[in-house]
Amino acid sequence: MALDILCVDDDPVTLTVLTARYSSNPRWHFRGAKSAAEGLRLLEQRSSHVVISDLEMPEMNGLEFMKEIAQKYPLTRTIILTGHTSITTMLGALQDGAFSFVSKPLGNFAALDKTLDLAEQLICGWKDELERLRSLGQHQALEAIRKPQAGVAP
């Protein structure tokens, strides 16, 4: 399964650098957009597993964009990028549903690499569980969902 990633950033340098870095990864299908409006158009054409969005963009900022994505594509995970990191903004983004928050500049890609790897593991886990439930049949799948998992509090 190729992870579909959409990156939205109004800074052409950041978008070019991220596209160059991630489009060559055979595990990922990487697309770029220069604005939230363009990103929404691309998502309408084909949804993405992960959206990487700049926080500060004209017209629609990254948090507004993330909320729009969450309404239309609830299974899509959003990673917020910003060069203007404040604890309040970061916590607000995470409370509003951001999968993660990564600081710019991205000279060291370790944080974003790790975040994308974690998103990929999560999404692959969902797909594996969905396939497992499909293979069980409707009645057994409902029972498996209702059954408490070992080690999980009721």
Q: Is residue 21 part of a domain?
A: yes
Number of domains the chain contains: 1
For residue 98, give both structure tokens: 């951001």
In a domain, 75, yes or no: yes
Confidence of residue 153 (pLDDT cuts 50, 70, 90): very low
**Is the CB of residue 59 less than 8 Å from the CB of residue 35?**
yes
Residue 18 in contact with residue 9, Cβ under 8 Å? yes
List pLDDT tens digits, range 19-53: 998 888 888 899 999 999 999 999 999 999 999 99
**Does 154 reside within a domain?**
no
In this prediction, residue 120 carries a pLDDT of: 86
- Is 49 a domain residue? yes
Summary mean pLDDT of the chain: 82
**Predicted pLDDT at 117:** 86
pLDDT tens for residues 94-133? 888 888 888 887 777 888 888 898 888 888 766 666 666 5
Residue 85 domain-assigned? yes
Statement: residue 55 has pLDDT above 70: yes
Determine the structural domain holding residue 49 and report its residue range: 3-146
Report if residue 93 sits inside a domain: yes
Contact 75, 127 (CB under 8 A): no
**Is 90 exceeded by the pLDDT of residue 145?**
no
CATH code at position 138: 3.40.50.2300
Inside any domain, residue 22: yes
Residue 151 lies in a domain: no
Report the range of poorest mean pLDDT among 10-14, 67-71, 129-133.
129-133
